[in-house]
Structure 1
Amino acid sequence: MNIVPLLVAHARAAHPHRAAVPTTLADRPDATVVRLGDTVVKAHAPGTDPTHLARRLDTAAGLPGVLLPPLTLAAESLHGRPVTYWPYGTPVDPTAPAAAPWEAVATLLARLHRCAPPSALPPMRGPAKAARAITRLRAALRTAPHPAARPVLDAWAALPAWARAEAPMPTPQAVCHGDLHLGQVVRHPAPDGPWRLIDVDDLGLGVPAWDLARPAAWYACGLLPPDDWTRFLAAYRRAGGPAVPAHGDPWAALDVPARALSAQTAALAITKALAADRPLDEIEQAVVDACARMPAP
């Protein structure tokens, strides 16, 4: 089913003033996002827990200086998928890596991690999302083996149970974004307002180092320049972020989440390469190579 026209029609019927020409921002099994002028309409994944989503929306509304607040707190429904409405914000320009707002992102994360946990906020879904990537890889390998899969699965098996979503996350916990990357920040009001974090689908209580793990993994793989990593880490520490020590080596805290994110990224890369019947590209191979350097189970 092509949900994009259904989502546009639903939004226009429910909110007739949102009649701008639609632009599809994302259309994946786990999320379909359409822009209608200054409004963004999102159909969340099938099977989304409505109570958990409501808690996440409440949290975003209560932290408007950190998270982009929703336009409405009550999710609508479209063919069993929750639908939410958000103000449009200007995303990071992927063609200008030198202008990436690493300091702003780090500061927002530190503020998020330091906020008082809202009542009944569900667990952060980062480990569960990583586990789904491994499950997808294993399913793909049943029909088409791939030589790069073994080091990725070995790296995954060597992780502690909590990082594989097989046990509760350890304490202390903080409010976490759960899926942090540069596509999860926008300027609002557009086009040049302050940066805000977006996408609450994985928001929840968990290990705050998880939110630093993707840039940490990119740095460890050689995909993020050392200067950018230093800027990001220093800004997080200046803002009082609790995920890493204020001084000294941060890797005792970052090692497990960074290894988990590397395995997740590599698993998704191999799965996509198998589906497209193509070799891994240079970046994908770098992440697989990083998994091969990790401790064996």
Structure 2
Amino acid sequence: MTPDPLLTVLTARVREAAHARSRTCPCGAATLADRPDATVVRHAGLVAKAHAADADPAELALRVTAAARLPGILLPPLGRPPVTLHGRLVTYWPYGTPVDPHDPDAAPWEAAATLLARLHTTPAPTAVPPMRGPVKAAQAVARLRATAPDHPATPPVLRAWAALPAWARGEAAMPDTTTLCHGDLHLGQLVRHPAPEGPWLLIDVDDLGTGVPAWDLARPAAWYACGLLPPDEWHRFLSAYRATGGPAVPSDGDPWPALDVPARTLTAQTAARAVTKAVAADRPLDEVEQSLVDACARMASISPSAPHA
């Protein structure tokens, strides 16, 4: 197989940056991710990330600047200017220890919720674009329409999507344009820094911006509603968020009126991605993927709550 040119160059650049003062290299390199929207290479304590080809340079610069000004919440970038390699913007970050996917009992739900609440209650330290969550959801549904129009799972996903308000589909401004949001929260977006046992921090600023804070709670809320996240883990997450003063939901009582629209949107987005991947691999939906499609079918029969600002 011919080596990917971007990955080859990115590996060389991160090695060079990690050993700027020495020709000796005992530590090797590791590819942490290699996807169209993110190629990430680690070398020693340094990580280089090639962002999506359509990343806006000015918007990414604002997001990276915001991360640098929010220590203790977001992993700060290293003081190296972004470069362009093979048409992709590349930024540099310190390495942090990720969540262990093989130890679900140690999942840092409380840390994730606390960091989100702190992010949501912190004024944006610099101008940032709108949070990109709804736009990314719309892109996933567009890919579903283009690649799997005849799949039996596609109609229920599209019906659930069509029932959402325009802002959730990325077709109108969000009802909250001031709250700072992560935009793509899941447990893969947390690392310990300094590695290996430093405090948890949020990573990945590609979708960072202002918007509806409930969006950042929507993925675990959707998993809980679909039966994919155990109730105790959901309640740990929600309780920690409320205890830290997070504004996305009321401090007590039923949180669902605030979470309903974002959770529906994330469910439709995740189901769209699942069907698209299954079609590309020429395989049937697995049990988890089918549960997401089934949730979309149920959602389409019940009108969503009014958007929560």
TM-score, L = length of structure 1: 0.96
1:73 and 1:55 map into 2 onto residues whose CA distance is: 15
Cα RMSD between the aligned structures?
1.5
1:118 and 1:132 map into 2 onto residues whose CA distance is: 29
What SS does structure 2 have at the residue aligned with 1:6?
helix
> Quick check: 1:10–1:78 contact (8 Å CA) kept in 2?
no
Aligned pair count? 295
1:172 and 1:82 map into 2 onto residues whose CA distance is: 27
1:117 and 1:189 map into 2 onto residues whose CA distance is: 24
What SS does structure 1 have at the residue aligned with 2:168?
helix
Which residue pairs with 1:194 in the alignment?
Answer: 199
What does the per-residue CA deviation read over 1:30-63, in whole Å, with 9 as the maximum and x for residues that have no partner?
Answer: 1100110111110011121111111111111111
Which residue pairs with 2:306 in the alignment?
Answer: none
> Quick check: 2:6–2:86 contact (8 Å CA) kept in 1?
no
2:232 and 2:16 map into 1 onto residues whose CA distance is: 49
Q: 1:15 to 1:90 in 2, by over 3 A?
A: closer
Which residue pairs with 1:3 in the alignment?
Answer: 6
Which 10-residue stretch deviates more, 94-103 or 170-179? 170-179
**Are 1:209 and 2:206 matched, yes or no?**
no
- State the one-letter code of the partner of 2:140: A
Q: What fraction of aligned residue pairs are identical, expressed as a percent?
A: 68
Aligned counterpart for 1:108 among listed residues 115, 118, 121 = 115
> Quick check: 2:177–2:210 contact (8 Å CA) kept in 1?
no
Question: Within 5 A, what are the aligned runs for 1:6-25?
Answer: 6-13=9-16, 16-17=19-20, 19=25, 20-25=27-32
- State the shift of 1:72 in Å: 2.2
What does the per-residue CA deviation read over 1:270-297, in whole Å, with 9 as the maximum and x for residues that have no partner?
Answer: 0000000001111111111111110348
What SS does structure 2 have at the residue aligned with 1:241?
coil
Question: Within 5 A, what are the aligned runs for 1:4-153?
Answer: 4-13=7-16, 16-17=19-20, 19=25, 20-72=27-79, 74-142=81-149, 145-153=150-158
1:136 and 1:113 map into 2 onto residues whose CA distance is: 31
1:87 and 1:14 map into 2 onto residues whose CA distance is: 11
> Quick check: 1:151–1:288 contact (8 Å CA) kept in 2?
yes
**Are 1:183 and 2:188 matched, yes or no?**
yes
Which residue pairs with 1:165 in the alignment?
Answer: 170
2:81 and 2:127 map into 1 onto residues whose CA distance is: 17
Uncovered stretches (5+) of structure 2, i.e. residues with no partner: 304-309
What does the per-residue CA deviation read over 1:202-252, in whole Å, with 9 as the maximum and x for residues that have no partner?
Answer: 000010000000000000000000000000000000000000001110011
- State the shift of 1:141 in Å: 1.9
Uncovered stretches (5+) of structure 1, i.e. residues with no partner: none
